[in-house]
Structure 1
């Protein structure tokens, strides 16, 4: 029996038994009553007051939530003053602040908010508190970047309006936000911002210059070339601000279509004050794709401070300095990034001439520490939710368990995080084990960060298909965190997140008349076959195959350049944010797994390789 297995058996024995435990049927009925807005049925099920079961407080929380929707604060006040479930108290405080904000009760927010520390406030509650503070003629720390995001919560959208009204935003930022909202068809929010900032009707006047800007942006979604031609022909109609905004947006569209010469030309004509973080990053990507190292270095110095500090742009700034013969300036940047345990950290290490050694693992955490964590009410709450979900096959309770687990680990030290990872691993909560292990700061256990469940199955199919087992593991880790019942918002299922149509097509090719896509063996068998298929059809290049697995073979092929391209540059300039992040993480994961498997010649740059010409 292994040390971890013996600890697992004892840890299960340490789980507490709760007197007067609330029944599963009561919890399921209470959740359904909340969904149906049925306060009478909820009240009949009790509120769990005084019950030691960590799940007993949920009906009372839902009762208070429904009351808030009806403008009644008393149940929330009673629930919070009663003590008990800390996660639900904090969650209800945030709900309460947001309810008060929607009602415009600024004094109410200022009374409730002190009970929420900065860490406890979610983004919307923080915004509502700032709105309340501004409305009571007090100053708040500015949040200058909010204006860039058109999809803000109610509280943060209101905060931007208050900032615009009070001159916290520059006129250029306010007008840029107006144009972004109109381009996204957020007319109601745009109307509110125009009223708050006293902009009048000029953004909504038919036939005006602002309307022409919107028309050219609409054209530019599908045809940036034509839109830029019309913009140049109509330039006399635009103010400098209008023209600068329009060129910046059309530059972004061009860059995301990988027309980098056109994008670079348009960015030079854009107004830097109206550029969002996304636009700044694509300006650098355009220079990178062209391998215009001089321009990339210059742009990296102009980046807003928050972006300049990102590992991605520190790494590419270092690369541009190397290309320009300024290696002495590049080295300090690379050294700094090399301490990060991620894609850019690995690349930086290799630029410095070092490679990843076998990932660090350590002995299991002391049982006494696991016992302490298992006695923690918040850890008990999370584990009880996972068990409830498993007993009743209700994924929504698992999602609640994940929220509580992440919340319960807030502020923990490295030893506690690793003990929590062990506890999760013992219960096959692989995703939560990885979550805990990834958050350590100084003391790491990479065997917990890069778990290898289902090893026999994965190794067997990888070997049969002659694909790299480390790569397969890197992909599964990114796809599902080894949760075999994982299901994405678009319907992908299982460890390797197969879409229904893909699974059916692969099963047909393999001659499988029937299959269960969430069965571990079947899912890995189908997923590895499809991975081999896209690899064979994309120049046997794992970067292209990884991109294809996420976004489709046609897109992966379309993103190739007219000439061979360094794999890291191809990955950095993938137009889809999700796919770009996915490819980088899968390839970095593969390096860590290859180290654990003692594979020779294991470098990220060799895995990224050179992408052949289209």
Structure 2
């Protein structure tokens, strides 16, 4: 069926569509471990645009036993391709695992940072540790050393190299032993200290709360005893820390205070969080802890502390638009000068949640989208000539014709590779090609990345509008809000399925769909049908909106469940932006920001009556105040 995309790449001479079946057959043969069938399928597609794929599947089905020569031959045959990059990454992980550091050192520079996963980053760091790079040793001891959970093989090798290379002092070993015990890796902690004069024992671990904190082992054990309380009884953890603070190493005490602060902040116990964070040394805080300290001050309405925390943050955090905006708000709340300067800087940080809020503080609300830039014939021809774009569209077509979502994932990967380091003209021309093919998520991906030239109607596209508009009018829902939510939920992939089972454009859970169908009196339905999914999703959004009485609460409830959205309210009314920023779930916090900002942009594209983001966010009623709406009996999620 490859002829279906020919209008998009008319200048190209593509192979016959029959080879699509060979590509699908090759993948199926790999799954069955049917080597003869794989070879037959490969022979049928050897001159095809997608020929690298069967060759890639054949090579990687047993990469552990592939020769370095075979790997290099593949990369040489298809250079500058996403598959060559993936092969190099997979191969180099194995090269490092087998201890061939000379080959790793020679080949790793060819892999760009964007292609590095967590394990490869650890392996690069290990190479530098072997070379006695002081900065690498410090980086590893400051980061990976303090992660207690079992990490990838490459990262575990890094930690072992620090020990075997003599780069970890006795104090370092006890510090890591505490982290391992906190992660319930008790035997790993004992193994780590086995070579010390007084190694850790199982009996000591059981009696951790009564250990003598004056020794390195005792300090680690007493602090471990505190960390065991953090998840179950924060008040008891604070009391226990007060009893030993000053009797254990200050740096380690600070790390535990930071744990208490983070846990309290996520539980929205702002006063305990602020007390705990105030006991920390600044060098012991990671980025997440810094931000939760700021969020705790924000939720408590403590503008002075918020300003101080932002000022003390590492520059990479303090310079983000989020904290530029809140620094401006903190200055404004205290009647200090400089707020507008912070808002100006935040307003220049993209077109998202805080950029919009900052512009509104400066009097520049979003009333009309930027002028549309239209790619020309030369721009489109350049895109059509890109092998990665060609492969992406061909793979996408296979995914559609054969209903095989794994080919869509391949297509997305090819598309992202093709968009790297491209200028605005290429990105917008690519977006046009993807949109015409129905490859909506990648059209948005490309249009979203432009710097100076824009196409807002592409970036905030509105497919399936007949259905969406109809149900929006029936339910008296804001169409821009619905589209803002769909864009974030599925990027208009109507066959989308999440890892937890949510389905379709509006990512409705099957259990929720059954509940909705019962309420609506619908007996026969398919939640993957576009119109049905929009009907059910908008019905549920309307139900949650009426139940919770506020669009921000409804947006949070749509993602995390109405019960959680209610529970995250404060004892006093909260500004909508503060409620949003202090949502404990990272995913939901990001989701609400994006959906609400999307709604502003969609309203501009639809030429609706302008409504500022600040007005959309409004004020969240106090938790003690009744919410005007029906009590939710819906499943706690979509």
Pick closer, same or farther for the CA change 1:194–1:13 going to 2, 3 Å.
Answer: farther
The alpha-carbon deviation at position 311 of structure 1 amounts to 1.4
The SS at the match of 2:15 is: coil
Alignment partner, residue 155 of structure 1: 154
Aligned counterpart in structure 1 of residue 124 of structure 2, from 129, 135, 144:
129
Alignment partner, residue 184 of structure 1: 183
Aligned counterpart in structure 1 of residue 613 of structure 2, from 604, 607, 614:
604
Pick closer, same or farther for the CA change 1:338–1:152 going to 2, 3 Å.
Answer: farther
**CA–CA separation in structure 2 for the residues paired with 1:269 and 1:289:** 19
The SS at the match of 2:231 is: helix
The alpha-carbon deviation at position 497 of structure 1 amounts to 0.5
| Contact 1:479–1:495 (8 Å) recurs in 2 | yes
| Contact 1:566–1:611 (8 Å) recurs in 2 | yes
**CA–CA separation in structure 2 for the residues paired with 1:194 and 1:613:** 51
> CA-to-partner distance for each residue in 1:132-183, whole Å, 9 max, x for gaps?
3432456776756743665754434544554677798999988766544443
| Contact 1:146–1:156 (8 Å) recurs in 2 | no
Within the alignment, does 1:413 sit opposite 2:423 as a pair? yes
The alpha-carbon deviation at position 126 of structure 1 amounts to 4.1
1:13-162 matches, cutoff 5 A: 13-14=10-11, 16-18=13-15, 23-35=19-31, 38=33, 40-41=35-36, 44-45=39-40, 51-70=46-65, 72-83=67-78, 86-118=81-113, 120-137=115-132, 143=139, 146-147=143-144, 153-159=152-158, 162=161
The SS at the match of 1:222 is: coil
**CA–CA separation in structure 2 for the residues paired with 1:613 and 1:190:** 46
| Contact 1:106–1:135 (8 Å) recurs in 2 | no
TM-score normalized by the length of structure 1? 0.90
**CA–CA separation in structure 1 for the residues paired with 2:84 and 2:346:** 39
Most deviating of 161-170 and 250-259: 161-170
**CA–CA separation in structure 2 for the residues paired with 1:199 and 1:586:** 57
Pick closer, same or farther for the CA change 1:45–1:418 going to 2, 3 Å.
Answer: same
1:181-330 matches, cutoff 5 A: 181-185=180-184, 201-202=199-200, 205-206=204-205, 207-208=207-208, 209=218, 210-233=220-243, 235=245, 238-327=248-337, 329-330=338-339
The SS at the match of 2:400 is: helix
Aligned counterpart in structure 1 of residue 588 of structure 2, from 566, 573, 579:
579
Aligned counterpart in structure 2 of residue 535 of structure 1, from 527, 545, 565:
545
The SS at the match of 1:444 is: coil
Pick closer, same or farther for the CA change 1:405–1:259 going to 2, 3 Å.
Answer: same
The alpha-carbon deviation at position 15 of structure 1 amounts to 5.3
The alpha-carbon deviation at position 373 of structure 1 amounts to 1.1
Alignment partner, residue 593 of structure 1: 602
The alpha-carbon deviation at position 117 of structure 1 amounts to 4.3
The alpha-carbon deviation at position 422 of structure 1 amounts to 0.3
Alignment partner, residue 520 of structure 2: 510
The alpha-carbon deviation at position 322 of structure 1 amounts to 1.1
TM-score normalized by the length of structure 2? 0.87
- Unaligned 5+ runs, structure 1: 1-7
The two structures, once aligned, show a CA RMSD in angstroms of: 3.0
Aligned counterpart in structure 1 of residue 568 of structure 2, from 541, 546, 559:
559
The alpha-carbon deviation at position 381 of structure 1 amounts to 1.1
1:442-591 matches, cutoff 5 A: 442-538=452-548, 540-591=549-600
| Contact 2:178–2:224 (8 Å) recurs in 1 | yes
The alpha-carbon deviation at position 85 of structure 1 amounts to 7.0
Pick closer, same or farther for the CA change 1:9–1:67 going to 2, 3 Å.
Answer: closer
Alignment partner, residue 393 of structure 2: 383
| Contact 1:48–1:57 (8 Å) recurs in 2 | no
**CA–CA separation in structure 2 for the residues paired with 1:42 and 1:200:** 61
Within the alignment, does 1:370 sit opposite 2:380 as a pair? yes
> CA-to-partner distance for each residue in 1:34-75, whole Å, 9 max, x for gaps?
446x38447634756993423212222223224432363232
The alpha-carbon deviation at position 306 of structure 1 amounts to 1.8
Within the alignment, does 1:11 sit opposite 2:8 as a pair? yes
**CA–CA separation in structure 1 for the residues paired with 2:423 and 2:200:** 55
Most deviating of 41-50 and 434-443: 41-50
Pick closer, same or farther for the CA change 1:167–1:312 going to 2, 3 Å.
Answer: farther
Pick closer, same or farther for the CA change 1:88–1:398 going to 2, 3 Å.
Answer: same
| Contact 2:367–2:610 (8 Å) recurs in 1 | no
| Contact 1:531–1:549 (8 Å) recurs in 2 | yes
| Contact 2:375–2:425 (8 Å) recurs in 1 | yes
The SS at the match of 1:401 is: helix
Alignment partner, residue 4 of structure 1: none
Q: What count of residue pairs does the alignment treat as equivalent?
A: 602
The alpha-carbon deviation at position 430 of structure 1 amounts to 1.0
Pick closer, same or farther for the CA change 1:412–1:513 going to 2, 3 Å.
Answer: same
1:336-351 matches, cutoff 5 A: 336-339=345-348, 340-351=350-361
Pick closer, same or farther for the CA change 1:168–1:286 going to 2, 3 Å.
Answer: farther
| Contact 1:48–1:59 (8 Å) recurs in 2 | no
| Contact 1:57–1:85 (8 Å) recurs in 2 | no
The alpha-carbon deviation at position 241 of structure 1 amounts to 3.4
The SS at the match of 2:504 is: coil
Pick closer, same or farther for the CA change 1:160–1:589 going to 2, 3 Å.
Answer: farther
